[in-house]
Amino acid sequence: MLELPHMSYFSILKKDQHTKARTGIIHTAHGDVKTPLFNPIGTKGAVKSIAAEEMRFWGAEMLLANTYHLWMRPGDALIAKAGGLHKFMNWKGAIFTDSGGFQAFSLSKMVKISDQGVSFRSEIDGTMHNLTPEVSMQIQLNLGSDIAVVLDDFPGYPATDKQVAASISRTFDWAKRSKLEHDRIVARTVNPGQKLWGITQGSTFPEMRAESARLTRTLDFVGYAIGGEAVGEPEEEMYKAVDATIPHLEEDKPKHLLGVGTPEQIVQAVARGVDSFDCVIPTREARHGKLYVNLKPGDPLGVGYTTVNITNESTREDFSPVDNTCNCYCCLNFTRSYIRHLFMSGEPLGIRLATMHNLRFYLNLMDRIRTAIDAENFKELSDTYRHRKGLPE
C-alpha cells in the first residue's frame, strides 16, 4: 500500500536568528493561515460593521468568534442547522473559537465554578446554564470552528499561589475531559477537520506557568493557547509569563496568546515565540474614534506608530488621509476632516471606516512582522517597538 507523505499541521518556514520569532503556516480545514497571525474578533458571528468578504480582501485568514455569545444567541443548534458558523456568516477563511468560560465567568450573573464546570444565569433571558468541558466541546463542534480550545479554569487576577495551583490542576483535568469528548464526537459534526488546542494557565508565577505548560503538553495537543493574560497585570508580568511557558511546549507546535494586544505587545510576544493573537483593541478603539497611524522611517518620534483621536478639534480642517502610508479604503478615499464629521454627526459610516482602517493597520503590522522575519531584520522592528514603550530589553 502506498504511504501518503506526512502532512504536518503546522509548518515552520523561517526562524529568526536573534529572537524566538518564526514564520509558519497552520493548515486548517478552511485553508492555510500564515503566522504570526492576528485574528480579528467576530464576537457574535460578525466583525463590527464589516462584511466577511471585506476582511478576506484585506488579508485576514482567521477570525475569532466567541462561543459564549453564539451559544446564548442564536444558539449553537441553529448554527449547526445552517451548516456551521462559516456558512452562517459566509466566511471563507478559518475560524478560531474560545471555550466560552471566560465570558460565562465575566458577563453572567450568579456564577458558580465547581470541578464539574461553570454554572451561571444568562444575561439575556435569565435562564440557568452549565458550561462543562463536554458542553464546551459540543458547542464548538456545532459552530464548526477550525480551532477549538479546551475549557480552562481562570484563577482571576490577582490570584494567590494556592488559587493558581488549584486552577492549573482543574484546567488539566478539564483538558483531559475536553479531549476525550472532542475525540468521541468530532467525526460526526459539521467540521470533522476541527482541531482542539490545549490552554495553559499559571498567572504571574513563572514556576506555575512552566508547570501548567508541562502538564498540558502530556496531552499532546496540536497547538496551545496561553490563557490568563491581558487581564490587568503589568506588561512585564505578561512577558515573564510567556517566557516561562513557551520553552516547556514543543517548539514545532503553534501557540496563541489569548486577548493580546497592542501593536508593541504583539511584536514583543512574537519575539518570544508566539504565533497567533486575537484582540478587541483595533475594533473597539475604532468605535471610540482612536485610529492607528504608521510613522514613516526616520520620523522624529522614532517609533513605529502613533494614534490620532479623530474627534479632536485639530482634525476639523485636516484634509489629509487618516494615515498617508495606508492603502485601505478609508485612507484612499476620505480625509480626517470627513471621518471627524461622520463621528461628530453620529453617522454609522464613520465607525465602519475607522474599524476598516484599524483592522487593516493590524493586518498590515502582521504582514510587516512576517516580512521582517523572512528578511532577517525582525530584531530592528522589535527594537523600534520596544523603544516606544520603554520596555525591558
Residues forming contacts to a second copy in the complex (CB under 8 A) are 44-53, 69, 73-74, 78, 81-82, 88-90, 316-317, 319, 329, 333-335, 337-338, 340-342, 344-345, 347-353
**Cβ atoms of residues 191 and 29 within 8 Å:** yes
Rank residues 330 and 365 by Cβ distance to a second copy and give the closer one: 330
Least distance (Å) between residue 346 CB and a second copy: 9
Least distance (Å) between residue 12 CB and a second copy: 35
Rank residues 85 and 257 by Cβ distance to a second copy and give the closer one: 85
CA dist 91 → 20, 47, 55, 87 (Å)? 32, 11, 9, 7
CA distance 39 to 218: 27
Least distance (Å) between residue 69 CB and a second copy: 8
Rank residues 78 and 375 by Cβ distance to a second copy and give the closer one: 78
Rank residues 263 and 350 by Cβ distance to a second copy and give the closer one: 350
Least distance (Å) between residue 162 CB and a second copy: 39
Catalytic hit among 16, 76, 98, 323: 98
**Cβ atoms of residues 32 and 25 within 8 Å:** yes
Catalytic hit among 16, 76, 152, 278: 278
User: Is residue 115 annotated as a catalytic residue, yes or no?
Assistant: no
**Cβ atoms of residues 72 and 120 within 8 Å:** no
Least distance (Å) between residue 128 CB and a second copy: 21
User: Is residue 278 annotated as a catalytic residue, yes or no?
Assistant: yes
Q: Which of 253, 114, 247 lies closest to 174 in space, CA to CA?
A: 114
Least distance (Å) between residue 334 CB and a second copy: 6
Rank residues 116 and 335 by Cβ distance to a second copy and give the closer one: 335
Rank residues 11 and 335 by Cβ distance to a second copy and give the closer one: 335
- Active site (catalytic) residues: 98, 278
